[in-house]
Structure 1
Amino acid sequence: MPRTVPRREALHQATMSRRIATIQDFDVGDEIAWGSLATISVATHKRTGKVYALKVLNKMHLARKKMVRSAMMEKEALVTLCSRPELHPGIVRLHYCFHDPVNLFFVLDLAPNGDLKEMVLKNGPLSLECARFYTAQMVDAILFMHKAGVVHRDIKPENCLLDESMRIKVADFGSAYVNPDLETYRTSTFVGTAMFISPEMLSRSKCDPKGPDIWAIGVCLFFYLFGTYPFAAATDYLVMERIKKLDYAVPEGCEPEPADLIKKLLVSDPADRLGMKPHSSPKALRDHAFFAGPEKIEWEKLWECPVPKIEPNPALKGQQPEDKNEDDLLAKFEELQLVHDDNLN
């Protein structure tokens, strides 16, 4: 009988089968993004001339923040997804992974057109056609991940990057859960971003681990259509209280199909959520009327079909999203008038 390779060993072998790289193999250019744990720069491979995104994580900083496990989980999730016989076009690909005494380095697909959050903040709520297209791409990528044994657990518009053709690439797998058996119920771990966290994560209930990703699709669709979040509040605590109570409303005037999809995704019990067993299925999610409208989604051609023109929702044109771009706010700084009050002298 052939020797069975343990899962972690198989992942290590898949990584090591690639040519070993070092930072000296790349010309590192400008920083294009940064966060609390990592910086991302454009990097050109000297030998091939290919251009990538270089994600750099400082080891000392990771240890201080107790986020070493998160970096290891990101690598494991990406290696799992990149080691499959078929690669999904909607998931960022890990090309090289290496480290030096100071930093960890991930060499990833470059997505040069920002992300879906940035697009909505810049253009306003998306047209129905755009919202349908990008939600369908999210659904397709997420269902592929689940089939591969990966749950993202931090699905949100800013983790849906836009490539050179304006199609999405899901990124940032630092909160991922990897297990070839995603059918076994488990206690939900509290991870992710407050606006997108699911009720079962808040209650730490034992349930289907795929549920938080499916819930997040509903929150994202709401954001694409209305430029705000269904459970928006002044603090994360208040956001989570609203999520526990399922305290949200679809704005009046919303088309019935997207309204119905949002309501069937934002369901407290994951077992009753569209796309989730035992009462539904991934096929039922794909077959929802929102994806079968006038601009019907052809799932087999989703990643080759023309990208719809990026335009705002005509019904909400001129309205500003609640989460305004910081640059827009700073641009208004000089417009503030200084009022002199003689009573202060």
Structure 2
Amino acid sequence: MPPFATLDDFELGEEVAWGSLATIIDAVYKKNNKHYALKVLNKVELLKKKGVRSATVEKDALIALGTRKERHPGIVRLHHSFTDSNHIYFALDLATNGDLKALVQKLGSISINCSRYYTAQLVDAVIYLHNCGIVHRDIKPENILLNSEMRIMLADFGCAYIGSDMETPRTNTFVGTAAYISPELLARSKVNPTSPDLWAIGCTIYFFLFGTSPFMAATDYLTMKRVKNLDYTIPPECDKDVTDLIQQLLVLDPMDRLGVPPKSSPDALKQHPFFVGHDKKDFPEDSPELSSWAIIDWKRLWTTPAPPIEVGPYRTRPLDVPGTTDELWAGFESLQVTENSD
């Protein structure tokens, strides 16, 4: 990562995203005329909202990943990091095609082949992270960015865990987003540190196909309640391999989750029939199965063109959430209103 960049080295353009702690600006680095996503964090707001540790963790994770000899194409890269009296700045890869949340919401859902392709890229990037001693812990569609070639870049490492040992169980911290948080994070259980990312992958596949989290409810409290109860549905007409993969990832006991050692492994996840089919024969390079991403060729995942974006077979939530409205309004049943006599 080149040192000594300052804000004067950048020509600031439009704001492309913003949140409670950061604003993302399309900025041109004057020394090479390249566009970057300049992430601007206000120091006062970080202190008020207790976000200093999050900013530090993100920087440490991105530096650790960016300084490795072999970098992964599916992870956003930190090019510069600097501060001034009021702000912290990260110059990151610019996602010229937005993120997968916006894409899926625009279409309602994406096709099974598109879902397979983007899930495979996500799995490959996450396995790389784990091999590097990093767990993301906030995987969700809005953190899966799309570059100019419509390939993913996993971003936002503010909730990451960094450690050298991915095998020994550890006590989990309550971090992440309600709709994608795993039950072991909610319970602060002592488990394999990689397991929450695999749960989130299961939620993300579901989002690709149905346009919503499997546990979405009217409030975060109700959403997390559904997570704890494993309260979700998959319509019976859904592709059987998709259904099986989701059901093997959305498992309450992380020790029984597909991809989590020692009962399972990352290779077992990559070899699930949803990705590679049931027939393990080798397909020729011009095979229609490979070109349409009806099966995944893991060796060509980052070099072969992405599939065209197609609307999926399920455009709305498969089933209404039973009882959500009743639970939300239950607290108002005893509310009494009296007229003011004045």
Contact 2:235/2:318, CA 8 A, preserved across alignment: no
What displacement does 1:19 show?
2.5
1:63 maps to: 47
1:316 maps to: 314
Query: 2:300, 2:14 → 1: CA distance?
Result: 35
Alignment partner of 2:104: what SS? Answer: helix
Match of 1:46 among 20, 26, 30: 30
Matched to 2:14, the amino acid is D
What displacement does 1:316 show?
2.8
What displacement does 1:321 show?
9.4
1:185 maps to: 169
Query: 2:234, 2:241 → 1: CA distance?
Result: 12
Contact 2:233/2:318, CA 8 A, preserved across alignment: no
Contact 2:23/2:41, CA 8 A, preserved across alignment: yes
How many residues get paired?
304
Map 1:241-260; keep pairs closer than 5 Å.
241-260=225-244
Match of 1:33 among 13, 17, 24: 17
Alignment partner of 1:90: what SS? Answer: coil
What displacement does 1:252 show?
2.2
- 1:231 lines up with 2:193 in the alignment: no
1:301 maps to: 300
- 1:205 lines up with 2:204 in the alignment: no
Deviation per CA, 1:252-281: give whole Å up to 9, x if none.
210100100000000011111000111100
Query: 2:216, 2:58 → 1: CA distance?
Result: 28
Alignment partner of 2:274: what SS? Answer: helix
Query: 1:119, 1:109 → 2: CA distance?
Result: 19
Query: 1:19, 1:120 → 2: CA distance?
Result: 38
Contact 1:115/1:159, CA 8 A, preserved across alignment: yes
1:134 maps to: 118
Q: TM-score, normalised by structure 1?
A: 0.86
State the superposition RMSD in angstroms.
1.3
Alignment partner of 2:309: what SS? Answer: coil
Query: 2:184, 2:237 → 1: CA distance?
Result: 30
Match of 1:267 among 232, 248, 251: 251
- 1:86 lines up with 2:43 in the alignment: no
What displacement does 1:68 show?
0.4
Query: 1:131, 1:38 → 2: CA distance?
Result: 29
Matched to 1:297, the amino acid is I
Query: 2:213, 2:30 → 1: CA distance?
Result: 43
What displacement does 1:228 show?
1.7
What displacement does 1:250 show?
1.0
Matched to 2:130, the amino acid is H
Contact 1:183/1:208, CA 8 A, preserved across alignment: yes
Moved more, 104-113 or 248-257: 248-257
Map 1:95-114; keep pairs closer than 5 Å.
95-114=79-98
What displacement does 1:320 show?
7.7
Deviation per CA, 1:75-134: give whole Å up to 9, x if none.
001011111110100000000000001100000000111100101100121111000000
Contact 2:210/2:317, CA 8 A, preserved across alignment: no
Query: 1:33, 1:21 → 2: CA distance?
Result: 22
Contact 2:149/2:305, CA 8 A, preserved across alignment: no
- 1:220 lines up with 2:218 in the alignment: no
Judged with a 3 Å threshold, the aligned counterparts in structure 2 of structure 1 residues 22 and 154 are, in CA distance, closer, same or farther, namely same
Contact 1:92/1:109, CA 8 A, preserved across alignment: yes
Deviation per CA, 1:1-59: give whole Å up to 9, x if none.
xxxxxxxxxxxxxx6xx331111111111100000000000111111111111000001
1:73 maps to: 57
Judged with a 3 Å threshold, the aligned counterparts in structure 2 of structure 1 residues 154 and 92 are, in CA distance, closer, same or farther, namely same
Query: 2:198, 2:69 → 1: CA distance?
Result: 25
Query: 1:302, 1:76 → 2: CA distance?
Result: 28
Matched to 1:311, the amino acid is E
5+ long unaligned stretches in structure 1: 1-14, 323-345
Contact 1:184/1:208, CA 8 A, preserved across alignment: yes
Match of 1:120 among 86, 101, 104: 104
Query: 1:249, 1:316 → 2: CA distance?
Result: 13
Q: TM-score, normalised by structure 2?
A: 0.87
Contact 1:121/1:321, CA 8 A, preserved across alignment: no
Alignment partner of 2:308: what SS? Answer: coil
Contact 1:126/1:224, CA 8 A, preserved across alignment: yes
Query: 2:187, 2:32 → 1: CA distance?
Result: 50
5+ long unaligned stretches in structure 2: 278-288, 320-342
1:340 maps to: none
Judged with a 3 Å threshold, the aligned counterparts in structure 2 of structure 1 residues 308 and 261 are, in CA distance, closer, same or farther, namely same
